[in-house]
Amino acid sequence: MARIYVTRHLPGDAVDRLRAAHDVDVWPEDGPPPQDVLVEHAREADALLTMLTERIDAEFIQATQPLRGVANYAVGTDNVDLAACTDAGIPVGNTPDVLTDATADLAFALLLAAARRIRDADEAVRTGNWPTGSPGAFLGQDVAGATLGIVGYGRIGRATARRGEGFGMEIVQNSRSSGTTLDDVLERSDFVSLHAPLTPQTRGFIGERELALMKPTAILINTARGELVQTGALERALKDGTIAGAALDVTDPEPLPGDHPLLTAPNLTVLPHIGSATRTTRERMADMAAGNLLAALAGERMPYCANPEVYER
Ligand code: DGY
C-alpha cells in the first residue's frame, strides 16, 4: 500500500478508487496548500495528485524525492518542470482530450457574451436601467460572417474553430502548415481566441505590438493561460480603445485580486478559470488522474503521460 497526497477535494469517486488500494490524504481546504505545506506532505508520500496551482519544480523534486508519480489534474503541465521530473525518473500524468469540448464551449460562450454585451445588458436589468424600446441600446457585433482567429491550432483550438464554422464564421489560424503568421491572424480577425500552450516562447507573446495589430473593433478571448498576454498591455489597449473588448477565463496573475487595475478596463469579462468546469468533464479528469496514479504505483506506464521519455531511461 502506497501513500498518496491529493491537493484538493475531487468530484466523483476517483479518491475512493485510490483509497481502495492505497493510503490517501486529501488537503482539506478549497484553495491550494502553501508550498511549504505541500513539500511537507509530499515528503511523506509516494505519489501526488496535483492541480495547476501547485508548483512542481526542480527544487520541489529535490526536496521530496523519491516520488513514484505525479498526476496533474489538467491537460496543461506548465506548473510542472517536466525535464526535472524525467531526470528524477518521475512520470507525470495529465488529462488530455476530456476537457476539449468543455473548454471550447466556454471560449465560444465568452465570444458570444463579448460580441452581444451580455454582461452590460444583464447589469442594466439588475440595476433598474432597462432600456425600454431604445434601438441604440446595447448594440453588439455580428458573429455570422465575422472572422475568428485561432492562435494555437491544437485540440481545443480546432474544437473552437468548429464552433465558429457552425456560426457561419470565417476561420484563420496560424498553424505551421497554414502559411498564415500570428501577425496575419491578429490583423485579419474580428475575434482572436488564444489556445496556445504556455512555453518560454509563448509567455507574454501578446503584448502592446500584437494588440496594436488587432482591429480597433476586435475582441480578444483567452481560455488558455493568462501568462500568454501581458496584462498591463491589455489593460492599456482596452482603456485607450486599441481593441474593443476582451473576455478572459485565465489571467495573470491568477487569481486576479478584486482590486486589480485590469478590472477597471472597459468591455472586459473575466471568469475564474472554469474552462473545464462541467460536472462530467471534471469527474473524467479525476478518473484519468486516479488511473495515472494507480498505474504508476503498480509499476505500469501511466495511460496519459506528459513525459513518456521517462520510460525510455
Ligand atoms: C487545463 O487542464 O490545463 C485547464 O486549464 C484546467 O482547467
Residue 59 designated active-site: no
For residue 3, list its beta bridge partners. 23
Is residue 65 predicted with pLDDT exceeding 90?
no
Q: Which residues contact 86 (CB under 8 A, 6 or more apart)?
A: 307, 309, 310, 313
Probe residue for ligand 1, chosen from 51, 75, 202 as the CB with the greatest number of ligand atoms within 8 Å? 75
Q: Percentage of the chain surpassing pLDDT 90? A: 99
Cis status, amide bond into 255, omega within 30 of 0? yes
Name which of 244, 240, 234, 188 is nearest 208 in CA terms: 234
Note if 3 is an active site residue. Answer: no
User: Ligand 1: does its nearest atom lie under 6 Å from the Cβ of 93?
Assistant: no
Q: Which of 8, 78, 103 has most ligand 1 atoms within 8 Å of CB, for mutation?
A: 103
Residues 223, 247 contacting (CB under 8 angstroms): no
pLDDT digits 0-9 by tens, 168-188:
999 999 999 999 999 999 999
Output the CA 75–ligand 1 centroid distance in Å: 5
- Residue with the smallest CA separation from ligand 1 atom 7 is 276
pLDDT of residue 313: 78
Radius of gyration of the chain (CA): 21
Alpha-carbon gap, residue 103 to 52, rounded angstroms: 15
Domain boundaries, the chain: 3-98+279-312, 100-270
Q: Is 74 in the pocket of ligand 1 (CB under 6 A)?
A: yes
List all residues 6 or more positions away from 109 whose beta carbon is below 8 Å from its beta carbon: none
- Distance separating alpha carbons of residues 160 and 203, to the nearest angstrom: 21
Mean of per-residue pLDDT scores for the chain: 97
Q: Which member of 40, 187, 208, 254 is catalytic?
A: 254
Query: What is the distance between the alpha carbons of residues 198 and 151, in angstroms, rounded to a whole number?
Result: 12
Region 28-48: what's the mean pLDDT? 96
Average pLDDT over residues 29-42: 96
Question: d(Cα 266, Cα 34) in Å, to the nearest integer?
Answer: 34
Instruction: Inform me whether the pLDDT recorded for 252 exceeds 90.
Output: yes
CATH T-level topology, domain 3-98+279-312: Rossmann fold (3.40.50)
Q: For residue range 262-296, list pLDDT tens digits in order.
A: 999 999 999 999 999 999 999 999 999 999 999 99
pLDDT-derived band at 126 (thresholds 50, 70, 90) equals very high
The counts of H helices and E strands in the chain are: 11, 11
**Which of the residues 163, 195, 225, 282 is marked catalytic?**
225
Distance set, CA 28 to CA 22, 220, 244, 289 (Å): 18, 36, 42, 18
pLDDT score for 44: 96
pLDDT tens string 224-248: 999 999 999 999 999 999 999 999 9
pLDDT reported for residue 18: 98
Asked whether the domain spanning 100-270 has the same topology as the one spanning 3-98+279-312, the reply is yes
The lowest-confidence range among 19-23, 61-65, 140-144 is: 61-65
pLDDT given at position 205: 98
pLDDT at residue 10 above 90? yes
- Only one residue has cell 463579448, namely 114
Is 225 known to be catalytic?
yes
Q: What is the pLDDT of residues 137-172, one digit of tens each?
A: 999 999 999 999 999 999 999 999 999 999 999 999
Residue in 276, 281, 282 to alter for ligand 1 test, most ligand atoms within 8 A of Cβ: 276
CATH class for the domain made up of 100-270: alpha beta
